[in-house]
Amino acid sequence: MKHEVLYNASGGFPPAGHYSSSCTANGMVYISGQLPITFSGENLAGGSFALQVSQVLANLDACLDGAGVGRAQLVQVRVYLTNIDWWPTFNALYAEWIGEFRPARAVAGVSQLHYGAAVEVEAVALAAL
């Protein structure tokens, strides 16, 4: 089994724990949950939910870029929201970000996320050939 860690390959913030931002294995890219942490790694992005979503999606893009793939290679996206009532707002921002492409997706309400974030997104994509 081929396994390659893509630790901070995209210039995004470094992981705060014992994990990688993303790694590849058997032709797939696994992207750890992305929080709305700014690229400097110091702060949550903005105070609004929309700003947090924008930062999470930018962090996801950075991980995809670091793996040499794009949004069109996504096969599954998992979304965690601390308030499920924000789902319509998230869905609208996500639809704008993803365009016409439709990977599998799950959205779950959770009681809390690390650092007090309102949203977290993890993903699986096909690796570059």
How do residues 22-64 score in pLDDT, each as one tens digit? 788 889 999 999 999 887 666 776 679 999 999 999 999 999 9
Helices (H), the chain: 49-66, 87-98
Task: Residue 39: name the closest of 50, 16, 21, 55 by CA.
Answer: 55
- Quickly name the fold that domain 3-126 has: 60s Ribosomal Protein L30; Chain: A; (3.30.1330)
% residues pLDDT > 90 (the chain): 64
Q: For strand 74-81 and strand 104-109, is the pairing parallel, antiparallel, or unpaired?
A: parallel
Residue at token pair 């999606």: 57
How far, in Å, CA of 1 to CA of 79, rounded? 28
> Is residue 78 classed as helix, strand or coil in its secondary structure?
strand
What are the tokens at 19?
């994990």
- Kindly report the pTM of this predicted structure: 0.86
> Which residue matches tokens 């007090």?
116
